[in-house]
Amino acid sequence: MPPILNVQGISKAFGANPLFQNVSFTVSEGDRIGLIGPNGSGKSTLLRILAGTEVPDSGNVAVRKRLRLSYVAQDSKFRSGESVRSVVERALQNSSAPESERGAYFAETLGRAGFEDLEAEAGALSGGWQKRLAIVEALVQAPDVLLLDEPTNHLDLAGIEWLESLLEARFACVVVSHDRYFLENVATETAELSRVYPDGLLRVRGKYSTFLEKKEEFLHAQGKRQEALENLVHSEIEWLRRGAKARTRKSKARIDKAGELMSELADLNARTRSTTAQIDFSATDRKTKRLIELESVSCQLGDRTLFERLSFIVSAGMRVGLVGPNGSGKTTLLRLLRGELAPSDGEIRRADWLRIVYFDQSRKLDENVTLRRALAPEGDSVIYQDRVIHVASWAARFLFTGEQLNQPVERLSGGERARVLIAQLMLQPADVLLLDEPTNDLDIPTLEILEESLLEFRGSLVLVTHDRYMLDRVSTIVLGLDGQSGAESFADYAQWELWQDECKGAKNVTERVQPDASSRPETQAKKKLSYLEAREYAGIEQRIAEAEQLLQSRRAEMENPAIVSDGPRLLAAHAELEAAQKNLDALYARWAELEEKAESAARST
């Protein structure tokens, strides 16, 4: 099947610095491509070239005739005064959907997205809801290809799951993301844009875990080739040093071949020369066990209660994952812990002389200063762990070059700004780290270094992140805010998800058992099993029994030592377990619905 988007041999540079060179990339119908790569490799630029909003310096871009493209940038921007309704209606005007179907499409898409107040001003929405609206704006245009740049930034965990379900549709999509669970769940292919590859890009069909396996194989083979080349070049240099005569045709050919080998080795060495950020937070030597105590704490914003009667202790060495939907009060709770806000009710006690370091998700940096001043405000050096380090060496720890030191902060990418903030935090010894969405914009290698640093940090940590992989790996306890003023603590993120599902199930049962009085007569009139429903009801107990057996077998697989020690198989087994659990939950919910209808019909006869 011919590609619907085809870029061949494209290059792009900003000033003297090339982003990528001679890269080729295709998109075919039904592709779901996860695009990854180090910060600064040009992922967003490549996406804009695919969208047609940026032109490459060289190469060709071919687009199938009448192809409909929708592009969602990292930062969502809407016109001043626009409502949610007007944003989507304007997007519908560009849609290929027949005018008679637009109303239904409008209601269905916004309903699935969870928007309730369609007259709310788009620009006044939270970051997560602005991102949802930008995705809806792109979707209602019925694209053949959807291009998404870091769509999980600002989305809460429920929003990410909503997006995962959306991307199961038939249109093709290219998604720039560093969320590893998201890539595993969504991508059918993964492509990494990086100078380490001969063609500037490595693309592998399959899940993200399959990509990691193939990448390791490729880099291992490339390492072997590099080692062999080094030996060959060493031999050729020794031969040349012995005074090889270039008069004979054979000697001249060997000299030319030696030159080619040296060029190939130099290219390999240049491509494989890589560095990683050196992140290491400084903890104090405090011996206090209880650092922050919350006793029956409630918090209200205006007439809305975010959470109430919350009692929780942050003790030494604890790593807390703070989760909840957008607007549930996660950032507000961090500000309460920090002492920036006071609770509406209850008491917060902090240990004496407690040192708290806070990472703000808004990434507030003075854009007018240079990178040098942002990293070292008081001179040309910093003091880190009682050692004086020159600003150039300090910058190199965070992958900045000497040439970048004099450029303004406003020219830095989102990932580079995050690294500057982390550099600033590392200079402050901490008893407690409060991190609000530190993973936004960071590339995967830097995420892995950050995770290692947090695991080695001897102090306490409260972490807000939408990165489920980091939550699972780093947190020792999960504190969940449900958005309905409730809060509970859990052993891990999976337990929080199960609690959420149980709460939703209980709410649905309550709504079925206690219908609104005004709608009761109409509801009862409808509660009669159809022929197909009667057949479904007769066989549903058998289906539930089979689903329970399947769930038990999936749980047994998760405990198999051979699977537990194999990362890709463990991920696949976990996904199968989740699918089996969801199927069983759905069957139980359907059984309750059919049973209620059957009993209602029996009572009315």
**Arithmetic mean of pLDDT over the chain:** 81
More confident residue, 559 or 595: 595
Which amino acid is located at 14 in the chain?
F
pLDDT at 506 over 80: no
Between the alpha carbon of residue 363 and those of residues 384, 415, 417, 587, the distances in Å are 22, 10, 7, 45
Q: What angle do CA 109, 482, 325 make, to 5 degrees?
A: 45
What is the Cα–Cα distance from 174 to 437, expressed in whole angstroms?
Answer: 24
* CATH code of domain 515-604: 1.10.287
Q: What is the pLDDT of residue 240?
A: 62
> SS3 of 231, please?
helix
What is the Cα–Cα distance from 342 to 336, expressed in whole angstroms?
Answer: 6
Are the C-beta atoms of 312 and 348 separated by less than 8 Å?
Answer: no
Q: How many angstroms from the chain centroid is the CA of residue 113?
A: 18
Minimum mean pLDDT range among 142-146, 264-268, 450-454: 264-268
Q: Residue ranges per domain, the chain?
A: 5-211, 213-272, 290-494, 515-604
Please report which confidence band the pLDDT of residue 399 belongs to, taking 50, 70 and 90 as the band edges: confident
Q: Do domains 5-211 and 515-604 have the same CATH topology?
A: no
Which pTM does this prediction carry?
Answer: 0.66
Q: What is the pLDDT of residue 518?
A: 44
pLDDT at 278 over 80: no
Please report which confidence band the pLDDT of residue 521 belongs to, taking 50, 70 and 90 as the band edges: very low
What is the Cα–Cα distance from 589 to 388, expressed in whole angstroms?
Answer: 63
Please report which confidence band the pLDDT of residue 524 belongs to, taking 50, 70 and 90 as the band edges: very low
Q: What is the pLDDT of residue 526?
A: 42
What is the Cα–Cα distance from 403 to 219, expressed in whole angstroms?
Answer: 29
* CATH code of domain 5-211: 3.40.50.300
Mean pLDDT confidence for 520-538: 57
CA quadruple 85, 90, 94, 98: dihedral sign:
positive
Please report which confidence band the pLDDT of residue 58 belongs to, taking 50, 70 and 90 as the band edges: very high
Q: DSSP code of 81? A: T
Which amino acid is located at 473 in the chain?
R
> SS3 of 301, please?
strand
Minimum mean pLDDT range among 133-147, 186-200, 236-250, 437-451: 236-250
> pLDDT tens digit string along 92-117?
877 766 676 667 667 777 777 888 78
CATH class of the structural domain 290-494: alpha beta
Minimum mean pLDDT range among 428-437, 559-568, 572-581: 559-568
pLDDT at 520 over 50: no
Determine how β-strand 345-350 pairs with β-strand 290-301. Answer: antiparallel
Strand partners, 201: 193
> pLDDT tens digit string along 286-304?
777 889 999 999 998 888 8
pLDDT at 514 over 60: no
Burial label for 446, CB within 10 Å (0-12, 13-18, 19+), is buried
> pLDDT tens digit string along 1-26?
678 999 999 999 877 678 888 899 99
Q: What is the pLDDT of residue 530?
A: 65
Q: What is the pLDDT of residue 261?
A: 64
